[in-house]
């Protein structure tokens, strides 16, 4: 047959997914296989990587465990977009093509220049690893992905105590024997949930908060980190920059009052605590993330934002 009546190739577009207790385990498994195969000697990492005494760093720790791999940090601006000139300069200064770039979709948002960035990296024969720890839903709804592999933090997006996964997209990487489990071996299965309804709820919640945060009475107190949602972007949280008040105290007061805000990447890893990454350092002391998850009662948002403003002014 020139064209068959129905599809019959069982391997065509077959998913290559593996499941772990955490995203960092999957990331380590992927990069270790690539390193052992001689594919990478350098990993370019965004200059906005968090650390905590309890959890360490989900980005830095897995790479740092791998021998004979160097880490180069590229600059992020104060809206968590990639500094293109800085990234390109660092890639151009490399004397070989054995490199991968880690692109982080912070809070579920994709860099506005992602297509240009991917084209530049592919011209240099680099590998693209996409950190979708916050971007499980975005990865499903966005039309464009140039990654060779991506990983997810499932427990950050679903009501799981633990869970991460990787999705291998480049056929040449599918040959490896990964340590992760397949879908029928895991207890907490994300595909048992109504993905489309969760995505719609998250998007709706974000838009409701966005209208409140942008009210004129709050403009000098805090401001959105990101703009309106582009097509395909499904947020993990609603990130804001605190302009007035003590972010750490505000965080404590909000949680004590029953509003589960978080402060993601509140402390950067030591290699980023320098003037080259001053924008990122400043942002790490301002950022606060408001909840948009699928369990939220959005009727509480107005009270939440009012209280947030009150605590900002009280902690000056």
Q: What is the mean pLDDT of residues 41-56?
A: 93
The answer to which of 25-29, 142-146, 233-237, 312-316 has the lowest mean pLDDT is: 142-146
pLDDT digits (tens, 9 = 90+) for 205-250: 999 999 999 999 999 999 999 999 999 999 999 999 999 999 999 9
What gap in Å lies between CA 138 and CA 109, rounded to an integer? 8
Q: What is the mean pLDDT of residues 97-104?
A: 96
The answer to whether residues 40 and 34 touch, using CB atoms and an 8 Å cutoff, is yes
Q: Is the pLDDT of residue 35 over 80?
A: yes
Q: Is the pTM of this model over 0.75?
A: yes
* Arithmetic mean of pLDDT over the chain: 96
How much is the pLDDT for 11? 85
pLDDT in tens, 114-168: 999 999 999 999 999 999 999 999 999 987 779 999 999 999 999 999 999 999 9
Q: What is the pLDDT of residue 1?
A: 84
Residue 96 confidence (pLDDT): 86
**Which of 58, 148, 161 has its CA nearest to residue 106?**
58
| Residue environment code for 30-44, b if the CB has 16+ CB neighbours within 10 A, otherwise e | bbbbbbeeebbebbb
Enumerate residues 6+ apart whose C-beta is below 8 A from 82.
46, 74, 75, 76, 103, 111, 113, 117
pLDDT tens for each residue of 168-198: 999 999 999 999 999 999 999 999 999 999 9
pLDDT surpasses 80 at 203:
yes
Predicted confidence at residue 84, as pLDDT, reads 97
232: left (phi over 0), alpha (psi -120 to 50) or beta: left
Q: Average pLDDT, stretch 64-76?
A: 96
54: pLDDT confidence band, cut at 50, 70 and 90? confident
CB neighbour list of residue 167: distance below 8 Å, 6 or more residues apart: 15, 16, 17, 139, 149, 150, 151, 152
In whole angstroms, what is the distance from residue 212 CA to residue 300 CA?
Answer: 12
CA distance 7 to 21: 35
Q: Which domains does the chain have, with CATH numbers?
A: 17-191 (3.40.640.10), 195-314 (3.90.1150.10)
């Amino acid at each position: 047959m020139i064209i068959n009546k129905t599809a019959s190739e069982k391997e065509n577009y077959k998913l290559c997914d593996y499941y772990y207790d955490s995203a960092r385990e999957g990331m380590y498994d992927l990069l270790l296989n690539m390193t052992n195969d001689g594919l990478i000697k350098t990993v370019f990492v965004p200059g906005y990587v968090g650390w905590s005494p309890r959890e360490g760093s989900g980005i830095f720790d897995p790479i740092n465990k791998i021998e004979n791999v160097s880490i180069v940090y590229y600059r992020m601006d104060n809206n968590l977009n990639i500094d293109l000139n800085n990234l390109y300069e660092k890639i151009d200064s490399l004397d070989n093509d054995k490199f991968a770039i880690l692109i982080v979709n912070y809070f579920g948002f994709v860099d506005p220049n992602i297509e240009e960035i991917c084209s530049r990296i592919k011209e240099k024969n680099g590998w693209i690893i996409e950190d979708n720890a916050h971007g499980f839903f975005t990865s499903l709804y966005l039309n464009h992905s140039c990654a060779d592999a991506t990983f997810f933090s499932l427990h950050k997006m679903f009501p799981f105590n633990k869970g991460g996964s990787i999705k291998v997209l480049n056929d040449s990487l599918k040959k490896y024997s990964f340590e992760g489990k397949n879908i029928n071996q895991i207890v907490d299965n994300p595909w048992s949930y109504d993905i489309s309804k969760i995505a719609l709820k998250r998007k709706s919640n974000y838009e409701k908060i966005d209208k409140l945060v942008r009210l004129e009475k709050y403009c000098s107190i805090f401001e959105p980190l990101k703009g309106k949602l582009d097509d395909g972007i499904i947020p993990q949280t609603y990130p804001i920059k605190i302009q007035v008040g003590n972010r750490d105290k505000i965080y404590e007061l909000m949680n004590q009052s029953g509003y589960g805000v978080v402060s993601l990447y509140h402390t950067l890893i030591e290699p980023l605590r320098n003037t080259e990454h001053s924008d990122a350092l400043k942002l790490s002391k301002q950022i606060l993330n408001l909840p948009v998850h699928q369990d939220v009662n959005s009727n509480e948002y107005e009270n939440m934002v009012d209280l947030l403003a009150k605590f900002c002014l009280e902690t000056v």
